[in-house]
Every structure is written in C-alpha cells, then in structure tokens.
Structure 1
Amino acid sequence: MNDSLFRREYTARFNRVLDHIDHHLAEELRLETLAGLALFSPFHFHRLFLAWQGETLADYIRRRRLEIAGMRLVMQADKPVLTIALDCGFGSGESFARAFRQQFGCSPSAWRKEGYAAQRKSRHGNSKFGQVDRKLDQDIAAGYGDDGGMTAAPSLQRFEETIMSFDRYAISIETLTSVRIAYLRRTGPYGGPGIWELWQRFNQWCGAHGLHGGRAMYGISLDDPTITAPEQCRYDAAVAVDADFTVGGEAAVRELPGGRYALYEFFGLPEECGDMWMTLFREWLPDSGFQLDDRPCFEIYLPRHGFEAETRRFGCQIAIPVRPL
C-alpha cells in the first residue's frame, strides 16, 4: 500500500466518523465509539482527529450541532427553539443560546426572524447569498462517460407524483425510496475546479469498479454554505450500487435517504444551475406550502438529460427535500 492509498484509507475512516456525528447529534458522542468507527486507538484519537480535521473533536461536534441547529431554526419554523436545541445535543436552552450567539453573533430567535442569509451577510461583509449558496454548482459535465454520454440511469423509485405549477415552474413532488450509494467526498468551496476534479477522479473510480452504464449518479451537497465556512463544506460524488457492493480505501458506502422531494428538470450552463437552486428557494418554495427538510439537497443525473460538450450545457434533476408547512 503506497502513501496515496494510506491517505485514502484515513479519509474513508474519518468520513465514517463525521457521518456518524451528523446522524447522532442529539446523543452522547463517546470517544470510544468514534475511535472504534475509525479503527483507531482511543488514546491517540484526539490527536489524529485534530491533525486530519484541523480542529479538535469537541470543537467539530459543537460546530456541527450549531450549524444543523441554524438550518433547522429556519427550515422548521414550527418547532420551538428549545426543541431544536435538545434535538441537536444541547442540554438546555440557556447553553444553546450562549453557544449560538458566540458562533453566529445573534440570538437563535433573531436568526429565525431575520433569516440566516441576512445574518451571514452581516457577519461576512458584502458576500452575496446567491454567489455563496450555489448548492451543487458544477463547472463540469458531472457523471458523463468519456464519449460525452451520460452514464447514469434512474434508480430511486417514485411512489407518488403531483405536478405543481407556480408561474413558470413545473415542480413534481415525489416520494423517493432510499438508495445505497458509493461515493468519494471533497471538502472545500462548492463550485469551481475542485468539483470538476472530484468528478473526473470519481468517473475513473467507477470505471475501475464496473459501475458505469445503467446506474444513477448523484451530486450531493452535505452542508449549507451560508452557514458552514466554504473551506469546510462537504460534497459527495456518488453512484447507486447493489446491496452487496463493498469498497475499500477512500471510497465509502452509505444510504441516500428517501422521502418527499421537490424535483425540477434543469438544462443549462453550470452557473445557471446554481442560480436556479437559489431561484427555487426564493421564488417557488415560499408559495409552495412546503418547507425544507434537513436531508441533504442533491442533483440526479439521468441518460435523458444529455450533455453538450461544445456549449457546456447539461441536464439534471434538482432534488429539494421538503415537508409540509
């Protein structure tokens, strides 16, 4: 095993830890459990985590609890602040309020009232919400084979479908089943060459593992860049795999959650796709009778969408997790 493979093994182990933390924020996150997931000694785990992540384990858990709470305050407007605090692992409303103000410079109530985009703008100068929050802005032909043809195919099963028209938007509200995916992850700003490089590497990985042809592919944004610092945002390039598929090294396998999603058919330039995400959030969602759920947003790449190499225009299905207001 060379140095590159060693590093990929470390990446896969720590990704398991980070995913576990996100799914168990309300619980006590014991050192022994997290170290066991990474197959490292508990005695050395704190030092290893700090060296790999660039922040202590305690600081990372605190940050993720606050970031998830910040999203839920806006997305789940019907939930009391205290309930969100407890669901994110805080012992009391007072401790949550203190930590939240320290992290974001305002109270949870003010954050909910004014919206986290406005709060982020006040904290980070004139950064524009629409420029920062390009959920899955791909300066790429994501998921396409060497011949320019899409390598993806539908995998998530649709149980119900309702077409809803809002002015010029035709949105289908569908219930999707969960799907098992294999993925490679990148940490860094959404958009730009980093995402393109990840997809190039991922397509090579898929080819080496016989995963091209007839499989759905996904671009998954795991963080909200209006809350999480750009350099800490996580993005997964993923492909649907069978139940018995196993991987090693840097790649990992997990479930992409099912549930109700608002689906929008997109075809255009990468920068236009980022703008469309924000348009749907700003113009469609407030009138839709739905609110955002806290499952990740993603894009689905299907054969019918196509890709124009000469123009860089591509198609995808924008998938927004929703639940009724």
Structure 2
Amino acid sequence: MKAALRNYRARMQRVLDYIDQHLDGDLDLDTMSAIAAFSKFHFHRQFTATFEVSVHRYVQLARMKQASNRLASNGALSVTEIAMDAGYESPDAFARAFRQRFGQSPSSFRKSPDWAPWLAAFGPLEIARSKLMNTTYTENDVTIREVAPTQVAVLEHRGDRARLNETIESFIRWRKAAGLSPETSPTFNIFRSERTPANPDDYSMDLCVGTDMPISADDEVMKAGTIPGGRCAVLRVNGASHNLEPAALYLYRDWLPASGEEARDFPIYCQRYITFRPDAAAHDVVAELFLPLK
C-alpha cells in the first residue's frame, strides 16, 4: 500500500476513533475535519466517498447504537438521560426514532431486547467501519477442518439480489417465532451463485438456521435441509462480512490451485457469528467461509 494511501486511511481512522470517544459531545463538522486534517469544505464529501454514508448519518447511527447498548446494560440511566446523550431534544423524539428503527419502544427494548432488527439497523455502520480494513488474505489465513453435518431450516432466495432484504426479513420473522435466537442457533448462508451474476435473476442464496426441530412439509416459509459434513477449507473474515466475495475469490482463485486440493460438489457457504455484548462494536461481526473439499 502506498504511503499516501496509508496516511489517508490513518486520518480517516482518527475521525472514527474521535467520534466513538465523543458521542456524548458536540461533534461538529469543524472539529471532525480538523481531527482528519482535511478542509472542512471537502471533508463531508471525502467522508461519504470513503464510507458510503454521510458523516451526519454515521454519527446518528453510532449514537443510537450507544443508546441501545445503555438501555440493554445500564439500569442506572433513565430513558430521558439516554435520549439527551444521544442528541435528541426530547424523550418522545428519541422514542419515535427508536421504535422506527428497531420496532420496539426504548422501555420494551430495555426489558427484552429483540436483537435481530438491532443487527439489521446497524448494517451501514458495519459497512462504513469495514472500509478501512485490510482484506488481503494469505495461505496462513486458511485452515482445513473436518466439519460435522448440520441439520438446518432453509429459506431459499432465488432471483434479483435487490429483493434479498425482503427474504431476510421473512427469515428473521420465522426464526423469531420459532424461538431460534442467533445467540443459541447458528446462522448459515449457502452461496449458490455469484454475488453479481450477469443476469440478476440468476442470483441464488439459501438462508439457514441450525436446528433439529422438525419442519412441516406445509411450512410456507422454511424447509428442512442439511449442510453436509466433511473436509473444508475455512477462511475467517472479521468485520467486512457484508461482502464475502473477496474472501471467496481468494479461496477459489489463489488458495485452491496452490493447495493441490479439489473442491467438492457442494457450494461455498458461511457461518455467521455475532457477539451480543453491551460493548460490542460493529466489527465484532465475524464470518467463517467454508469451501467443501474432496
């Protein structure tokens, strides 16, 4: 990486670190552009170009994440205090924004957090943070593991990836109704096509949750399936798990030809791990990518 690019990324990283450390303070454009040592007239455009989210939106999401963490973990602070620290003018405004984003009132979230919409809401924050991460892999990042077969409930997405969010919402509703929390029941994605096929209608992916509970043949959402066991090449991806295409390309294009191994007749898939801790950062989302081997 060229020195100029390293310096640019370091300056942007200083801004993210400063925001994280001053969420309760006045995060104005003058201060943040000075932290990055960029002109304030161009800083907001540079930030948006780098992180694919505006600085205002980033701060808003980071403050809401902190607020939700405080609700779930700190009974000493009132909802009003948390709302004020998050930059809202009144508890009512905070409650409206909170319910719109998470489908729960702040008080309800404090009593019984629903983590699935919480995770979905902070996707843009995870994506933004991942922009500064190094996604260069080496053979030392890959391990070969003997994997046990896993019984799963499967929701198939077939067709344009633009409609994937609708499928994900159906998946989340089903697993919530079935009591299969991401904390206790593993989450898998089976990639049956490229991320961006030439024909968008050829996009194909399975969303799976590990469970041995019987799935009725009449179930309108899910069907029973199995992720087969056997030898797999495993590549761990930290943080940038919203797009696993670079990791998959490395396994297929670089690692597999050099390894002398042969791929088995089953698609590449991933298991997603999410740490639900009050202090968990967006980059604590981890995925392991599995390439089945003969």
The interval holding the TM-score normalised by the smaller chain is: 0.3 to 0.5
Length-normalised TM-score, structure 1: 0.43
Name whichever structure is richer in helix by fraction. 2
* Higher share in strand: 1
Larger radius of gyration: 2
